Amino acid sequence: MNDLCIDVHHLNKHFGHHHAVKDFSLQVARGEIYGFLGPNGSGKTTSIRMMCGLITPDSGSGHCLGMDIFTQREAIKRRIGYMTQHFSMWENLTIRENLLFIARLHNLQQRRERVARTLAELGLESRQHQLAGALSGGWKQRMALAACMLHQPSLLFLDEPTAGVDPKARREFWHTLHQLSEEGVSILVSTHYMDEAERCHKVAYLSYGHLLANGTIPSIIQALNLTTMRITGAGLPALENRLQPFPVVEQTVIFGNNLFVTSRDEAQLTALITAVTGGSYAIAKVDTNLEDAFTWLMKNHDEKINN
């Protein structure tokens, strides 16, 4: 086995006439945290399910933990951990009882020891006797993570694990993911949160089943060659309306007292902003961020599809 825990090439999946995932290729190295982003329905869950052996691709090839995703699906399922978007648990059992029950369902040996170790690893010891139904969203997610780690998988697939979880609990959850990664666990995690994407070693972005970008965040942003200017002052919605019709303006967005304008041509954008604002605003060039990059990728892809 090489150093890649996921190595898939040209995967396709149709549901009836709907081509849900198109020519999908991805390589994930051991110990890497790989973020998986894209709008609702872009094919993230379907891609995850193909990579971890839950559904068979229509075409393509690939390996997960060195095992063939077409012919060794059962073996893959035993070796990975998969936290689905809608995990189920028994609300009237405690955390510990839930984990013991899941360990029994999976026919794991030394169940008590495994549960005790997982509770400790995930910081759940102090809560182990609490009823699952009474837990807050953050603790429920942590318990779900514990459930898919009982058999000590070296690769985790987490499908939107922190949806609806408050910022503090999300931070703590991500701290745990980084600890696991330090211990050599590879993690592929789908999310809609940009701050979570920025915590990953690498990210992939899907739209309408197409993988539009993947790699480190700086490499993705740099490849797009976008310039972003920040304009600070009053009357920003009106200014935004005036700037948007110019073809040199790729996209605009207001955050508080700042209007961010993104373009592929820095010189033309600077000239336009100077002409339109007439020197009455504070203007500065800023780094293009990941959200700008993904928004641009999606817009550009939409335009290509519609033309």
Pairing relation of β-strands 80-83 and 155-159? parallel
Distance in Å, CB of 258 to ligand ATP, minimum: 29
Q: Tell me the β-bridge partners of 215.
A: 203
DSSP state of 58: S
Distance in Å, CB of 38 to ligand ATP, minimum: 5
Distance in Å, CB of 276 to ligand ATP, minimum: 37
Pairing relation of β-strands 202-207 and 80-83? unpaired
Judged by beta carbon, residue 157 or residue 173, the one nearer ligand ATP is 157
Distance in Å, CB of 95 to ligand ATP, minimum: 26
| Paired tokens of 99 | 């984990």
CB 10 within 8 A of CB 21: no
Using the rule CB under 6 A, give the single segment among 39-47, 58-66, 150-158, 251-259 that binds ligand ATP. Answer: 39-47
Among 17, 40, 168, 182, binds ligand ATP (CB under 6 A): 40
Give, in order, the Cα–Cα distances in Å from 266 to each of 165, 226, 285: 39, 8, 9
* Number of amino acids touching ligand ATP (CB under 6 A): 11
Using the rule CB under 6 A, give the single segment among 42-50, 67-75, 227-235, 276-284 that binds ligand ATP. Answer: 42-50
**Of 288, 293, 285, 292, residue with least CA distance to 269:** 285
Q: CB-based contacts of 125: which residues, under 8 Å, 6+ apart?
A: 119
**Of 298, 304, 249, 302, residue with least CA distance to 273:** 249
Distance in Å, CB of 194 to ligand ATP, minimum: 14
Q: Tell me if 107 contacts ligand ATP by CB under 6 A.
A: no
Q: CB-based contacts of 172: which residues, under 8 Å, 6+ apart?
A: 123, 138, 142
Among 45, 94, 207, 214, binds ligand ATP (CB under 6 A): 45
The residue length of the chain stands at 307
Q: Tell me if 42 contacts ligand ATP by CB under 6 A.
A: yes
Q: Tell me if 46 contacts ligand ATP by CB under 6 A.
A: yes
Distance in Å, CB of 55 to ligand ATP, minimum: 8
Q: Tell me if 191 contacts ligand ATP by CB under 6 A.
A: no
Positions touching ligand ATP (CB under 6 A) are: 15, 18, 20, 38, 40-46
